[in-house]
Structure 1
Amino acid sequence: MRAALKLSKYLKPYKHFAILAPILMVLEVGMDLIQPTIMQKIIDKGIATNDTQYIIMMFAAMILCAMIGWLGGAGCTYFSSKAAVNFASDVRADLYETITYFANSNKDKFTLGKLITNLTNDIEMLQRALNMLLKIFVRGPFMFVGAVIVVFFTARDLFPVLFFVVPVLIISLYIIIQLSIKLFRKVQESIDQVNTRVQENLAGIRVIKAFNRMRYQMKQFATVNHQLTKRNMTADQVVAALMPITQFVVNIGIVLALMLGVVKVDAGAIEIGVIVAFINYLMMILNGLMSSSNVLIQIARAIPSAERVVVVLEEQSDITNIENPVKKEIQGNVKFDKVSFSYNKHVEPVLKEISFEAKAGSTVGIIGMTGSGKSTLIKLLGRLMDVDEGTIYIDNIPIQQYDIDMLRNAMAFAPQKAILFSTTIEENLKYGKIDATKEDIQEALFASNAFEFVEKLDHKEQHELTQGATNLSGGQKQRLAMSRAIIRKPKILILDDTTSAVDSITEKIIQRNMKEALKDSTKFIVSSKISSIKHADLILVLGDGRIVAQGTHEELLKMSEYYKEIVATQVERGGAIDE
């Protein structure tokens, strides 16, 4: 109930549709309820007395009722669909926005598979439930109540039959709905697992093929798929049991009505048309209950979805603005003061008491063994995560005091794994600067040395990228990711091992171009190659989450054995150190 109240605000903009739909459905139900009575009169007054004119007149009345009912039903379908579709669209948009602003820790809490299910299957369930609620759920109860009332006034002698039929139907309906809520909650959990497995497998398809583990992954998927199938079948079997139960009860009611009706007809208490009308109304009662049960079962399926969606909507991002955040322009001076961070608070920190200072416009190189904390350090700089201890200052102001949008607008980030979107190269670059001109785009492409391959494409900057940019090489993707960062002309530029798929000659060209294009930017370059950072004004050497040495390339060669060992290793392996 709390989840339904929380989501009800999304229906308010479409309340006129939500009001019109039930009103029109009441009109349709009213016309349906009149028709058995008209049939009764045709039998008892028209056919019994052989009054042809009366039969034609009542038949015309029946056709008129059917047409009015059809218009009411069509109108109800139109308005209920508009309300439900727009409601679902708004919830999905708000949910997507909430997820977009999540910190990494929030996304890890829910998992990608579950969030995908929230945006797709759960929203679809809510849309379907609302549509049925506005349309069929109005029809069912009104038809049920209306039929009972009409029977009470027109066939009171047969009314006692309903004392058996109605309670049994309602009890059966209640039991099945309670079971459905529990079962469909398990179904949604299984859908989460299937989506998570699919997402992981598609993202890692190259690894799976490289290790020839396709059959293993198929077995893993078959396990979660079988569980989903099993739970779906159990839930559907419980729901399917409702129809034969209710049909059996109604058939017993019809037999009782006929037995009682024969006695009453022989006694002259009622006429045959009344029995026919009663059986029609009894079927309406069945249809009303079945319609209501279908909606209630759909609501039972939607309740877990609503709860899951509301949990995500109510989740507060771990990274938020303080009250009255700083909105001054950033110059690019960066200082880390005894910064420590851990992904898991119960284990040893990934970063331990990191301290250094970088002046605006300088270049900072970061190098270290795998797992030393290089990528974590630069994620903290962009407030993708918050520090556990210590403080990060930008222009002598703690970054937590800055407005998050202003902080990130002053930065540009090119990750090691180049993430490009399935649109044109131009649109990908405009993620960095939405109002970028053609000159801006070409300048950024030139700075990352991507211009040379983009110019050879048939449509140049309008070249369409596939999902994951699989129609480009690894080096080409990295250069476009750098172009997207460079085009922003940021005050702080972060490059996380962005030349790992680039040859040494191209890397040297990129370094020269960036130095000219981003003179005033503070540049952080994470790399495993000495050649990528040897020109930096400050090099941070990380080891086991600590800064084991810092200084220029020349200084580190004199004072740091650890750094000299890295250099020696790369020279031994043929690395280009002194280009």
Structure 2
Amino acid sequence: MRAAWKLSKYLKPYKHFAILAPILMVLEVVMDLIQPTIIQKIIDEGIAANDTPHIIAMFAAMMACAIIGWLGGAGCSYFSSKAAVNFASDVREDLYETITYFSNTNKDRFTLGKLITNLTNDIEMLQRALNMLLKIFVRGPLMFVGAVIVVFITARELFSVLFFVVPVLIICLYLFIKLSISLFRKVQEAIDQINIRVQENLAGIRVIKAFNCMRHQVEQFAGINQALTMRNMTAEQVIAALMPITQFVVNAGIVLALALGGIKVEAGVMEVGVIVAFINYLMMIMNGLMSSSNVLIQIARAIPSAERVVVVLEELPEITNADQPVKKEIRGDVKFENVSFSYNKHVEPVLKNISFEAKAGSTVGIIGMTGSGKSTLMKLLARLMDVDEGTIYIDGIPIRQYDLETLRGAMAFAPQKAALFSTTIEENLKYGKMDATKEEIREALAASDAYEFVEKLDKKEQHVLTQGATNLSGGQKQRLAMSRALIRKPKILVLDDTTSAVDSITEKMIQSNMKKALKGSTKFIVASKISSIKDADLILVLEDGRLVAQGTHEELLKTSVHYQEIMASQAEKGGVLNE
């Protein structure tokens, strides 16, 4: 119930729709309840008395009730759908916004597959439950209560039959609904596993094919899919068993009514029309309970979804603004002071006691073996994660005191794995600067040496990238990622091994263009090749998360054994430096 209460605020903007729908449903139910009484009058007062005008009048009244009821039902469907769809849309939008501001730790806690399920299947469940709640759940109880009242007034002689039928039906509904809540919670968990597996497999499809593991992946997916199938079957079978049981109980009630009614008619204390009306009302009671049970089962399916959605909505982003964040313009002085960081607080840190200082406008190269912490160091600079110990200063101010938009607005980041979106090249570059002009886009493309290949595309900057930009080569993707970073003209630029997929000649051209375009920017270049950073004002050498040396290229050649070893290993592999 707490989850439902939490989500109820999303219905408030559409409360007029949510109120109108049940009111119109009341109109439909009242019209439905009147009709068996009209049939009774047609039989007992019209047909029995051979009163044709009375039969015609009652038939006309019955048609009028049917038309009014139809209008009420149609109006209810319209307004309930409007309320449910808008409710779901607002929840989905808020949920997406919440996820967008998550840190990596937040996302890892939920997993991508589960978050996708939250945004799709869970929201759909909530929309369906609300729609049924506003329509059928109003109809069901009203139909049930109304039919019981009418039977008590018009067919009191048969009212005792309800003492058998109604309690048995209610007990059955309670047991089935209680069981279905736990079953559908397991179904949602199985859907999570399906989404996780699909997301992982599609992202790594090239690796799967390269290692010829398609059959293995299909078999793994079949196992997960079978688990979902079994859970779905169990849940659906439980629900399917409800209808025959309730139908049996109602049929038993009809037999009792006919037996008891036959005796009453034989005794002359009841008319045949009363029995016909009672059977109609008994069917209404069953339909009212069944429709109510369908809604309750749908709500039972939606409860786990609501709980899962609320858990995500209540998750607090780990990276947040200070109470009074600094919004001053950033120059670009950067200082790391005894910085340590660990992805898992129970294991050894991946960065240990890192300290260095970079002046505004300087170029800092970062090199080290795979896993030494180079990329992690740069993620801390953009506050994609927060340090465990120590402090990062920008222009002498602790990084945590800066407003996040101000901080990240002064930075540009080009990751090693270019994250491009399935839209045009122009729109991808505008992630760096939303109001970029055509001229600025072309300048940025030229600076990263991407203009030449973009101009050869049929639609040039309007060329649409596929998901993951699979219609471009690795080098082309990296150059577009650099263009997106350069177009911002940031005060702090981070290039995380972004030239690993381009040749040395193109790399030198990019470095030359970057110096001209970003003279006053502080540039951090993470590289695996010494040739990429040898001209940097400061080179940081990382080894197993520690800063083992820092200085210029010439200084490190004389003083750092680690730097000498990296250079020697690259020379052996043919990585010749141009001195």
Distance 1:144 1:162 in 2: 11
Partner of 1:237: 237
- Please give the per-residue CA displacement for 1:170-211, whole angstroms capped at 9, x wherever unaligned: 000000000000000000000001100000000000000000
Correspondence for 2:424: 424
Counterpart of 1:73 in structure 2: which amino acid?
G
Q: How does 1:524-535 map to 2 (within 5 A)?
A: 524-535=524-535
Report the equivalent of 2:197. 197
Matches of 1:534 and 1:342 in 2, distance apart?
A: 29
Deviations 1:523-542 (A, max 9, x none): 11101011111111100000
CA contact (8 A) 1:88 1:126 kept: yes
Alignment-derived partner of residue 509 in structure 2: 509
1:534 aligned counterpart, secondary structure? coil
Deviation (angstroms), 1:468: 0.8
C-alpha separation in 1, matches of 2:270 and 2:499: 93
The SS at the match of 1:413 is strand
2:154 is aligned with 1:154: yes
Q: What's the % identity of the aligned pairs?
A: 83
Q: How far, CA to CA, are the matches of 2:83 and 2:274 in structure 1?
A: 40
- Residue identity matched to 2:69: G
The reply to whether residue 445 of structure 1 matches residue 464 of structure 2 is no
**How far apart are residue 568 of structure 1 and its match?**
1.5
Tell me what 1:16 maps to: 16
Q: Distance in 2 between matches of 1:561 and 1:164?
A: 91
Aligned residue runs from structure 1 range 16-165, under 5 A: 16-165=16-165
Equivalent residue number for residue 436 of structure 2 = 436
Quote the Cα distance in structure 2 between the aligned partners of 1:86 and 1:351: 47
1:67-98 Cα deviation digits (max 9, x unpaired)? 00000000000000000000000000000000
| Residues 328-477 of structure 1: pairs in structure 2 closer than 5 A | 328-477=328-477
- CA offset at residue 578 of structure 1? 1.1
Task: Tell me the alpha carbon deviations over residues 513-566 of structure 1, each in whole angstroms, 9 at most, x when there is no partner.
Answer: 000001111011101011111111100000010011111111111111211111
Q: Which amino acid in the other structure matches residue 574 of structure 1?
A: G
Task: List per-residue Cα deviations over 1:33-69 (Å, max 9, x = no partner).
Answer: 0000000000001110111111111111111100000
Give the alignment's Cα RMSD to 1 decimal: 0.6
Residue ranges of structure 1 left out of the alignment (5+ in a row): none
* Alignment-mate amino acid for residue 440 of structure 1: E
SS at match of 1:493: strand
Partner of 2:252: 252
- TM-score after normalising by structure 1: 1.00
In the alignment, the residues of structure 2 paired with residue 521 and residue 65 of structure 1 have an alpha-carbon distance, to the nearest angstrom, of 78
Q: State the SS of the aligned residue for 2:494.
A: strand
Matched residues in 1 for 2:444 and 2:310: separation?
A: 42
Cα deviation for residue 308 of structure 1 reads 0.3
For residue 563 of structure 2, what is the aligned residue in structure 1? Answer: 563
* 1:368 to partner: Cα distance: 0.3
- Partner amino acid for 2:114? K
- Out of 553-562 and 281-290, give the one that drifted further: 553-562
**Aligned partner of 2:28: which letter?**
E
Partner of 2:518: 518
Looking at structure 1, the residues matched to 350 and 160 of structure 2 have their Cα atoms a distance apart, in angstroms, of: 76
Aligned partner of residue 159 in structure 1, secondary structure: helix
| 2:513 aligned counterpart, secondary structure | helix
Amino acid at match of 2:470: T
Q: Hey, what's the Cα distance between the residues in 1 that align with 2:319 and 2:565?
A: 39
| Corresponding residue SS for 1:500 | coil
Contact residue 504 and residue 576 of structure 1 kept, 8 A: no
1:113: Cα distance to partner?
0.5
- Counterpart code for 2:404: I
Q: Deviations over 1:274-303 (max 9, x none)?
A: 000000000000000000000000000000
1:125 is aligned with what amino acid?
M
* Residue identity opposite 1:306 in structure 2: A
- One-letter code of the match for 1:453? F
Shift of 1:570: 1.0
- State the Cα distance separating 1:576 from its structure 2 match: 3.6
**Alignment-derived partner of residue 553 in structure 2:** 553
**Cα distance between partner residues in 2 of 1:493 and 1:262:** 92
Secondary structure of the residue that 2:512 maps to in structure 1? helix
Q: Deviations over 1:400-428 (max 9, x none)?
A: 00011110111000011001111100000
Please give the alpha-carbon distance, in whole angstroms, between the structure 2 residues aligned to 1:496 and 1:518. 17
In 2, the alpha carbon distance for the partners of 1:483 and 1:392 equals: 27
| Structure 2: distance between partners of 1:379 and 1:572 | 32
Q: How many residues align?
A: 579
TM-score (norm 2): 1.00
Q: Which amino acid aligns with 2:484?
A: R
Tell me how far apart the structure 2 counterparts of residues 44 and 577 of structure 1 sit (CA, whole Å). Answer: 108
Write the distance in 2 (CA, Å) between the matches of 1:207 and 1:532.
Answer: 28
Is 2:538 the partner of 1:538? yes
CA distance in 1, matches of 2:517, 2:77: 60
Deviation at residue 23 of structure 1 after TM alignment = 0.2
| Conserved 8 A contact 1:254-1:282 | yes
Shift of 1:369: 0.3
Task: Supply the AA of the counterpart residue of 2:100.
Answer: T
2:474 partner amino acid:
G
Where does structure 2 lack aligned partners over 5 or more consecutive residues? Answer: none
Which deviates more, 411-420 or 567-576? 567-576
Instruction: State the AA in 1 paired with 2:530.
Output: I
Q: Distance in 2 between matches of 1:568 and 1:147?
A: 91
Q: Distance in 1 between matches of 2:414 and 2:312?
A: 29
Q: 1:462 to 1:576 in 2, by over 3 A?
A: farther
CA distance in 2, matches of 1:265, 1:190: 58
Match of 1:188 in 2: 188
Provide the C-alpha distance between the structure 2 equivalents of 1:464 and 1:282, rounded to a whole number of angstroms: 62
Distance 2:31 2:527 in 1: 76
Note the C-alpha offset of 1:223.
Answer: 1.2
Superposed displacement of residue 575, structure 1 = 1.2
Cα offset, 1:452, TM superposition: 0.6
Using the TM superposition, give the Cα deviation of residue 572 of structure 1 relative to its aligned residue in structure 2, in angstroms: 1.6
Q: Aligned partner of 1:160: which letter?
A: S
Write the letter of the residue equivalent to 1:447.
A
SS of 2:393 mapped into structure 1: strand
Letter in structure 2 aligned against 1:61: A
Give the match's secondary structure for 2:336. strand
Structure 2 residue identity aligned to 1:291 = S
